[in-house]
Every structure is written in structure tokens, then in C-alpha cells.
Amino acid sequence: MALCCCRLLLKLQVCIAALQILIATGLEAELVINSEFMSLDCVDRMVLSINGKVPGPTLRAQPGELVQITVHNMMASQSVSIHFHGQYQNNTPWQDGAATFSGCPIPAQTSWTYSFHANPDPGTYQYHSHVGGTSVGGVGGVLVIEGAVSAATAAIDGEHVLHLFDWWHAPQEEILSGLMSTQFRWPGDPQSVLINGRGSFDCHHNSMYTCNITANASCSDGKGPIAPANLRPWYRPDYQPPQCDASACPDLEVFEVSMNGTYLLRLIGATSLSFLNVAVEGHNLTIVETDGHPTAPLNVSSVDINSGQRLGVLIHAIQQPSTYVIRAQIRGRSGVRVAHALLRYTGSPTVTVDPVGVQIPQPAWHDNEFTFQQQNALRGTQSMPVPATEQVVRRFEILNTQERLEGRNFNGKPSVDSIKAAIGLESGDRPENNCVSANNTRLLRWFLGRRTFFHSTTPVLSKLYFNQGVDELTEDNSYYQVEVGKVYDIVIQNYPACNGVCETHSFHMHGMPFWVLGTFRGEFNGSAEQVAAFNLVDPPMRDSIMTPSEGVNNVPEIRAGCGYVVIRFKPIGPGAWPFHCHQLLHAAPMGSIVVFHTGREGLPPPPSNLLVCGDMNLQTIMNRLEE
């Protein structure tokens, strides 16, 4: 339901009229979210689409202009929200689209309009759902703030967008259910990687599909295999099991270039779990943008990109006119999955290309040194100079660990026994061996600073603004108050998971960018030598960063630190800004989240179409709006 705050509208009537004169018409768009049956990778399954497509339409806005996006949630029973990933939301924190943080999700069969101003500078961004598994199911797309990010992109001959997505055949409800189960059912590696919603999967490689596939038929019964027990309908009345159909494979995406032209490739890391490497046959690439911010040009043979990250890379079309293969390959996981697209020179002969047989030099899936070196080689352009270390008012030192639930906090509450929880190394805590459960249950969670996140059905901003449930917003529950304009550091110390593997994680900050002061090996201890190694000259700016991994361990329960990354941030505007692992399978269902908020003072009033959910008290809301 929506609360129409009439008193607020009366108070703001004059201001709104004035703003309508001052603000030119900007980007207006409608996004219709629905469930439908389609094939993205040769396997027909129920997906969540936007305007009938996966991904949704690419939205384009001018710097600083008004953006109004109306979302129509046509799903039968699922709520949804749209987070505009990388947008600062300066003075519009209610529009961030992070359900339970900035506002309520949009209920099924309901519409809601987001209204905010685009970031002031050009760049590559994305939008996606921020509720449960809906983003895993396909709800997302690309947002471009138009214009030249830097001098390097001012004279390009064109651009192409590559939305990179990992894809499971199991429905998102089952994936989340398994992650929350006391037996912790991990969904495994994705079945496919998609480029602009197109991929390819061989059904013979999965035991789910037992029928024979031919070019002209799907399965022996003509409808596809019978779904195994764990895929039968249990949640949505409209659910249908996946069907393998070799004739339903989508064509590869084709990107046209002209001889001797220079093109900007906008790469969007929209994955839910996977860390990718992207390369183009016969062509080098030049990185010129990270997460909407210019970088000094960096020439590379291939690029690493993780969930939540965006890269702007230049490609020079100087090879023999022909058709070349683009490959996106999963890194850090041995079950290698790849996606292909084609780079075609205009006027070159039309040829049939088998991308699988094309050799393209890329780092091995376990080559963490490549990632370490490339991330540290990126340099900023000083468009926003990094604040001096003397300005830092607090350093948050966060341990990223995976542990069994007993003896730790889940949703902010002690599960079995009372264990002291403190964020990061400020308390001197270090991980213990907490991967083996005494009663053999496997309820595993990712922990930041020895605790999982306290989830609430009432949005954080509503708690703050209406003074309802503020007592829950404590550091013990992973909420940290910061001040606009102050400077803070975060050290993210990576540790292995319970299987002994030190994974590479991607952490995303809402509401503001940060400076990346460096990626380092080993364990952070705060020594003068370690602090002196921070890059304070030309650090790149980002809003999503990878934690390092020092090799892949197959020995369980290793507890040595396996690298850390240091970032510096300065809150731009008031709000409640989640900082979380953007491997979405680690975040909402597994607790890898903290929230930085600016408190009640200075928060702008909520929009007139405020949604109500959780424990929000209508009378308290009306009283607050009359103040």
C-alpha cells in the first residue's frame, strides 16, 4: 500500500511548483516486471523479465538530470525493488531502491515511481532488484550517464554494452531456500554465463536432462524432462520446470565495428556469484573507466570484472576485417563456464564461427596473481583528490569469514551461546575454527566482523526518520553511524571459507564512491609500514571492489588471512547506505552486510508515495510529518 502524505504535500506545494519550473524534463521510463517462460541459454525456464526481456532496457540519462522510473510489479506474489547501482542519491536517500534499507519493496500487482537526479558526471552504471532472489532471476539492466568519462573517450567512433550475468536453471526461490536451510544446500556453479541475456548450455552435461537432444526436437516427450523432486512446484502457482531444447538456443550477440575505429565497450558485472575475465580474440583492450570514474589508460590483454563492478574499455579495430570471438569466462571456480559474443567488422564476409574452438589467451581460473596485479595497476586521474590520512576519523577493520551458525549471531541474535562480537580487528578478534558443527547441522553464514547482519522488515530510513525501532540500529547489529563530509577508512581482511578456499569477494557501497588505497597480501596489523604502503597519490575511485585471494586452498579449515583491501570514503549525503558483498548469494541470505547511516538529523522527508511495511506505525508517521 502507499501512504499519501497530504499534509506534507501542502507544505511543499510552493517548493514543488518552483522546482517544476527550474527542472527540465529528464529521463522518464516504465519498467514492467513479470514472470514468463523463455530460453536464455537453450534451456526454457520461468524467468523474471523487464519489459519482456532479460536484461531490461538500457536507460540513458544526461548528467544531473531528473530521472523518473515507474516500476510496475506484475508478478503474482513476489515483491521487488530497483536499486540504481552507483547513483549517489544525494538528498534522495529514499530512492536508493534497497529494500529494508531505503524503503519498502514494491508489492506484487503494484506500481511505484522512483525519482532522483542522475550523478553529475558521465559513466557506466546498472540497475537491479534488491529483494531476495529476484535479481538472481533476471531483474536488472544497464544505466548510462551519457557523455565522455575522460579525454580518452571524447573521440570514440561508437560504443557497445555488454551486460554480464550468470544463470542457474533452478528457480531463485529454491536457491535462496537452500542457502537458508539448516542443511545449507549450496546451488553450485551457475549453468551458464550470459552476454546481454544470451548464452549456450549443453543439456547432456547435466543429469537433470536425461533425454536425447537433436537439432529439431527437445526431449522424447516433446515437452522436456520431468523435473526432479527438488524442482517441482512448491512456491509459485505459475512455476514450470526447465525444458531442454537445442533448437531454442539464442544467436550470439554481434557487435559491429568499422575498420580503424575506436569503440568504448561498457562492461557490466551483473553476476550473482561469478567473477569473470573478458577477452577479445586478436585485440588488446584499454581500461579508461572504473564504476563511473575516469582512470589513467591501462593497456591489457583481458580484463577481470566482478559482481557489481563496471568497466569502460577501449578497443581499436585495427585487425584484418573479419569476425572475432569475445569470451567471458568464470574465474576462481574450477567448473569453468564461458559465454561468447562476436565482434564483426563492417563489410567483412559473413562466416559461421564456432567460438568454442577459438583459442584466446586468458588467465587460468585459479591465477589470482593476474587479478592482484591488474587491480593494483589501476590509477585514478585525481578528478576527486583523495583526502589526507590525517582527516580520517575512524578506521573500520572488517573480517570477512564464513562460519557455522552455532556460537555466532544470526540476524543479530545469539543462536546457541553468547559470543562477544565486535567489528573487525579493533577488538583484536580473529577467526576461530567454527566450521564443524557439534550436531552435524550445516547452517553456514558469511560473517563481517564476527557477526551476520540483523535484518528488519522495517526500512532503516523509516526507523531513523520516524524514530521507530532506533534502538535496534546498534553496532552489535552491524549498523554504524557516520557523518556527512567526514573521512573514514575500511580495511576488508579476507579469510577462507569453511571448505578452505579463499574466495575473491566483491564489496559494493551504496550512496557514495570510495578511493581504493591498495590491495595487499597477508594479514593487516596496522603497522606503520603497512599504512605507508597506501596509495595516496592517484588511487582509483570505485563503488565496488574485490578482496584479494592468495591462491586456492583445498585443505579445510585454514585460518590464515589471505589478503586485504583498503578503501577510503567520505559520505556525500544523509541516508542509510549498505556496504555488502555483491555476490548476492553471500549477502541477503548469508549475512554479509553492514550499514553506514548518518542518523536522524538532516534526513530529507520521505516522498509523497511512501510505501508502508514492517512495523511502521501510520499515526507516528503522520505526527512526524506534521512537525
C-alpha cell at 519: 590491495
Is residue 161 within 8 A of residue 125, CB to CB? The reply is: no
Q: What is the pLDDT of residue 287?
A: 98
- Tens of pLDDT along 448-471? 444 555 567 899 999 999 988 888
Where does the pLDDT of residue 351 fall: very low under 50, low under 70, confident under 90, or very high at 90 and above? confident
Q: Is the pLDDT of residue 54 over 50?
A: yes
Please report how the helices 6-22 and 618-626 are oriented relative to each other, as an axis angle in degrees rounded to 10: 50
Q: Is the pLDDT of residue 158 over 80?
A: yes
Q: What is the pLDDT of residue 417?
A: 26
Of the given ranges (36-50, 147-161, 420-434), which has the lowest mean pLDDT?
A: 420-434
Closest CA to 595 of 462, 482, 506, 489: 482
Query: In Å, how far are 154, 166, 357, 412, 567 from 364, measured between CA atoms?
Result: 34, 19, 17, 39, 28
- Give mean pLDDT, residues 197-220: 54
Count CB-CB contacts under 10 A for residue 514.
Answer: 25
Of 98-107, 214-223, 551-560, give the range with the top mean pLDDT.
98-107
Q: What is the pLDDT of residue 204?
A: 67
18: which residues sit within 8 A by CB, 6+ positions away?
none
409: which residues sit within 8 A by CB, 6+ positions away?
415, 419, 421, 451, 452, 454
- Give mean pLDDT, residues 474-488: 92
Residue of higher predicted confidence among 540 and 337? 540
- Residue 472 dihedral angles phi and psi, to the nearest 5°: -80, -15
- Across the chain, what does the average pLDDT equal? 80
Residue burial 575-594, b: 16+ Cβ < 10 Å; e: rest: bbbbbbbbbbbbbbbbbbbb
Q: What is the pLDDT of residue 520?
A: 95
Is residue 531 within 8 A of residue 537, CB to CB? The reply is: no
Q: Can you give the length of the chain in residues? A: 627
Q: Is the pLDDT of residue 608 over 50?
A: yes
Percent of the chain with pLDDT over 90: 52
Q: What is the pLDDT of residue 140?
A: 95
Angle at 571 (CA atoms; ends 567, 573), nearest 5 degrees: 155
- Give mean pLDDT, residues 306-330: 97
Residue of higher predicted confidence among 501 and 625? 501
- Give mean pLDDT, residues 114-134: 93
Spell out the domains of the chain, with CATH numbers in brackets.
6-150 (2.60.40.420), 389-457+474-597 (2.60.40.420)
Where does the pLDDT of residue 80 fall: very low under 50, low under 70, confident under 90, or very high at 90 and above? very high
Of 73-77, 128-132, 403-407, 592-596, give the range with the top mean pLDDT.
73-77
Q: What is the pLDDT of residue 419?
A: 22
